[in-house]
Amino acid sequence: MTAPALIRSSLLSGDEAELTRYLFDRLGKFRGENELKESYYTGTQFVKQLGIAIPPQMQNVRTVSGWAGTTVDVLEERLDWQGWIETDVDLGLSEIYRANDLDVDSGPGHLDALVYGIAFAVVGSGAEGEPSPLVTVESPKDVTGIYSPRTRLLSSAVKQWVDEEGRVMAATLYLPNETVHVERKTDGGAWHVVDRDEHRLGRVPVARIVNRPRAGALGGRSEITEAVRYYTDNAVRTMLAMEVNREFYTSPQRYVLGADEDAFVDQAGNPVPGWQTIMGRVLGLGRDENGDVPEVGQFPQSTQGPYVESVRLMAQQLAAEAGIPSTYLGIATDQASSADAIKALEARLVKRAERRQVLFGKAWLEVARLCLLVRDGVVPAEFSSVSTKWRDASTPTRSAAADEALKYASAGIVPPESTVLLDRAGFSPTEQRQIAADRRRLNTQLVMQNLANAAANVDSEAQQLAARRVDADTE
């Protein structure tokens, strides 16, 4: 795509400039939708009121529902990526994982993929003081690319850099064999090349983390679906109506029949405020000119029951859409009475998490491949045995996990020293490394003790042999 004669040029080539414009148009195309999804996740979305049951004085009352954020968070919390598994040979991927803090930084990538439908991981050479290869997780608000269904890879990608006022002043264009860094001095001005990195990797150093792709929608799908938005908006409007009900109808609504108008004005002839009338004047009404006592009554007091039931219904509908127990949305239902009952309630959520582990694991394998290309320039054949490691998406108890691991070891299904048993028992990678170090230390101590015992036995046998020789000589 880039002619060799243009390598030293300070401007993008015609093809590069056209590609950059197209990629920026893609960023602009999805900007509004991405901001809308983010507003639902953070609970800052604007819910349009119908203007029927809400008085104008309460149109600006802030009512918030965090259901959309909960829908995303309960799934993301079950996606703990623990690194790559290397079985045939040590390729150094564990060091790359720890150096880039991917146990922490992978989480935002999963979260963005669930919120927006897609996120990106970029691999490059680290500068001084940075890990190399350097892996960063990027938001789809700043990164986009062109995906090839045949190669299942990106053919190009771009990342934008904005200033404090939101103007795009720098960008990085990723191509299969080089990375181009550009800047511009004014908003909307020409792009000037500030650096070209001819890495010759043969693939774009950007991996897609895609959520729920379909054959007809390879760009992924957000967990904040249209249905989730509707149920959330409906709940917000219902809770605002409940606020209105509390504001206007919580206090007793009374009526007075046959009272003189003078009972509702002060000595100056001004109308008495409503609260003062309710609190005092109604209780002190006198007889009229005919000697009759005014009739005072009270309307039935309104309750919040219908609003609560409406919110409960929306919560149950949203729980079905998101595949989560309705208790996660704050709706009290029949509580699970046993561990098996809890697992039954969470079965669909666990399955959804396991599907995401497969999808996101594909992206992290591509990141591992790119890291080896950046570091070594080649991907060895042993890479085919590399896989991704995830924490169990279900919620087994400690005792159940330990019992499962013990049964596997006792039956000879898994060797007692295998790390698979430690995974099943729920030990974290850090704890597993500590266990391995303890085992090596204990084995070393055991070897040293055996050597000492063997040396003592040799000395004892030598002394016994010498004693027998002395006795033989004496005889």
Q: Where are the domains of the chain?
A: 1-250+312-395, 256-300
Residue 102 has pLDDT above 80, yes or no: yes
Q: Count CA within 13 A, CB hemisphere, residue 166.
A: 3
Classify each residue of 198-212 as buried b or exposed e, where b means 16 or more C-beta atoms within 10 Å of its C-beta: ebebebbbbbbbbbb
Q: What are the tens digits of pLDDT across the range 63-89?
A: 788 999 999 999 999 999 999 998 878
* φ and ψ at residue 298, rounded to 5 degrees: -135, 130
Asked whether 200 and 177 are in contact (CB, 8 A), the reply is: yes
Residue 372 token pair: 């080896």
Q: Which of 213, 230, 208 is nearest to 157 (CA)?
A: 208
Q: Which residues pair with 390 in a beta bridge?
A: 81
Which residues are CB-contacts of 380 (< 8 A; sequence separation ≥ 6)?
89, 91, 372
Quick: pLDDT tens for 325-371: 888 888 766 566 676 777 788 889 999 999 999 999 999 999 999 99
pLDDT of 1 strictly over 60: no
pLDDT above 60: residue 262: no
pTM: 0.77
Backbone phi, then psi, for 156, in 5-degree steps?
-165, 160
Residue pointed to by tokens 């998406």: 393
Rg (CA), the chain: 35
Q: How confident is the model at residue 94 (pLDDT cuts 50, 70, 90)?
A: very high
Banded model confidence at residue 117, pLDDT cuts 50, 70, 90 = very high
Of 8-22, 206-220, 246-260, 329-343, which has the strongest mean pLDDT?
Answer: 206-220
pLDDT in tens, 381-420: 999 999 999 988 886 666 666 767 777 777 777 777 777 7
Share of the chain above pLDDT 90, in %: 45
DSSP-derived letter for residue 262 is: G
Q: Which pairs from 346-355 meet CB under 8 Å and 24+ separation?
A: 346/394, 346/395, 348/323, 348/324, 349/74, 349/75, 349/78, 349/323, 349/324, 349/325, 350/78, 350/393, 350/394, 351/323, 352/75, 352/323, 353/75, 353/78, 353/79, 353/393, 354/393
Question: Each residue of 138-161: pLDDT tens digit?
Answer: 999 999 999 999 999 999 999 999
* Distance separating alpha carbons of residues 439 and 426, to the nearest angstrom: 18
Q: Decide: 323 and 349 in contact? Cβ < 8 Å.
A: yes
Q: What confidence score (pLDDT) does residue 3 get?
A: 35
